């Protein structure tokens, strides 16, 4: 029939019904009236609560799904998204000294404990992705070695770690082996005469690309944190570009700065 939305006589409200549903339940979730893990009413029940048909109910629920607030678990219903493991990811260079007791406890709480990590490594030789070519200063036709790792925790995908090296630089080296390199690829690079003494880090947030969705098994409403590292030799030659793709809900990057403090990290 398409009677449009329910307008309260004389009122200005014109919020679509499915938005009203989303607003209502979003509020319940952020105020923790509904806590992580709690079940929402069924689509049917919501339809009765708001006097709307199932299609409209689903429009409203889809909003919340895409905001990452709820997850559908058929045939058990919709659930407020549980808090996932939040892995604190300390950055190499920054010291991790005992901070205040509060901070320590807080760090402990969030650190991975008693989990079983695993990873899968593969190596390809490919034309570089645009951003990688840019950072490594490569030209049309140049090839790179892509050393790709998928990391799991308790068999759940956790993050991607793809490192790219100019093929010309490392051809014939062990970096091409799709196995773990105990002393680290950076050391291996150094042994080839390309020690890195400087790095540029880029961090951004975005929705995952199709490939990332597949590899990390991501659902809707799940952004990723992308951490790109470009390493330079003493001659300022870029020799490595690593792209870390971290599942947003499972990671917090953490680092620490001491004195110098120009203050305004804004």
Where on the chain is the footprint of DNA (CB under 7 A)?
1-5, 16-19, 40, 42-44, 51-56, 58-59, 72, 74-78
Instruction: Confirm or reject binding of residue 244 to a copy of itself (CB under 8 A).
Output: yes
Residue in 201, 217, 239, 241 binding a copy of itself, rule: CB under 8 A: 201
Q: Is the CB of 16 or the CB of 254 nearer to a copy of itself?
A: 254
Binding mask 77-116 for a copy of itself (x = CB under 8 A): ---------x----xxx-x--xxx-xx-xx----------
Q: Is the CB of 1 or the CB of 11 nearer to DNA?
A: 1
* Contact indicator for 109, 86 with CB cutoff of 8 Å: no
Q: Is the CB of 19 or the CB of 237 nearer to DNA?
A: 19
Instruction: Confirm or reject binding of residue 204 to a copy of itself (CB under 8 A).
Output: yes
Between CA 86 and CA 107 the distance in angstroms is 10
DSSP 128: P
Instruction: Confirm or reject binding of residue 178 to a copy of itself (CB under 8 A).
Output: no
Task: Kindly state the number of chain residues that form the binding site for a copy of itself, as judged by CB under 8 A.
Answer: 77
What are the residues facing 165 on neighbouring strands?
145
Residue in 118, 206, 214, 217 binding a copy of itself, rule: CB under 8 A: 206
Provide, rounded to whole angstroms, the least separation between the CB of residue 183 and a copy of itself: 10
Instruction: Confirm or reject binding of residue 264 to a copy of itself (CB under 8 A).
Output: yes
Binding span for a copy of itself by CB under 8 A among 2-10, 42-50, 171-179, 242-250: 242-250
| Window 8 to 27, contacts with a copy of itself (CB under 8 A) | 26-27
83 class by beta-carbon count within 10 Å (0-12 exposed, 13-18 middle, 19+ buried): exposed
246: number of CA atoms within 13 Å, CB side? Answer: 20
For residue 219, what are the contacts with CB-CB under 8 A and spacing of at least 6?
71
Rg of the chain on CA atoms, in Å: 24
CA 85 remoteness from chain centre = 12
Answer whether the bond into residue 75 is a cis peptide, omega within 30°: yes
What tokens does 255 get?
């680092």
Instruction: Confirm or reject binding of residue 73 to a copy of itself (CB under 8 A).
Output: no
Q: Is 129 helix (H, G, I), strand (E, B) or coil?
A: coil
Choose the contact partner of 102 out of a copy of itself, DNA, none; CB within 5 to 8 A by kind.
a copy of itself
DSSP 180: -
């Amino acid at each position: 029939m398409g009677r449009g939305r329910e307008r309260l006589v004389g009122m200005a409200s014109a919020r679509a019904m499915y938005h009203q549903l989303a607003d209502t339940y979003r509020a319940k979730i952020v105020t923790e009236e509904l806590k992580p893990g709690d079940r929402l009413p069924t689509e049917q029940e919501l339809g009765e609560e708001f006097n709307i048909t199932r299609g409209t109910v689903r429009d409203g629920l889809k909003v919340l799904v895409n905001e990452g607030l709820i997850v559908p678990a058929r045939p058990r219903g919709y659930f407020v998204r549980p808090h996932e493991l939040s892995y604190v990811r300390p950055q190499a260079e920054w010291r991790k000294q005992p901070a205040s007791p509060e901070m320590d406890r807080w760090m402990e709480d969030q650190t991975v404990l008693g989990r079983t990590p695993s990873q899968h490594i593969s190596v390809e030789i490919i034309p570089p992705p645009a951003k990688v070519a840019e950072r490594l200063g490569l030209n049309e036709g140049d090839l790179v070695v892509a050393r790709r790792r998928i990391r799991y925790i308790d068999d759940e995908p956790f993050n991607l770690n793809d490192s790219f090296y100019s093929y010309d630089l490392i051809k014939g080296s062990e970096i091409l082996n799709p196995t773990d390199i105990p002393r680290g690829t950076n050391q291996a690079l150094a042994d080839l005469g390309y020690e890195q003494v400087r790095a540029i880090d880029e961090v951004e947030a975005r929705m995952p690309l199709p490939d990332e969705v597949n590899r990390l098994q991501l659902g809707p409403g799940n952004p990723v944190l992308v951490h790109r590292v470009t390493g330079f030799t003493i001659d300022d030659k870029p020799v490595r570009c690593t792209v870390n793709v971290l599942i947003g809900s499972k990671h917090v990057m953490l680092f620490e700065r001491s004195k110098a403090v120009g203050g305004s990290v804004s």
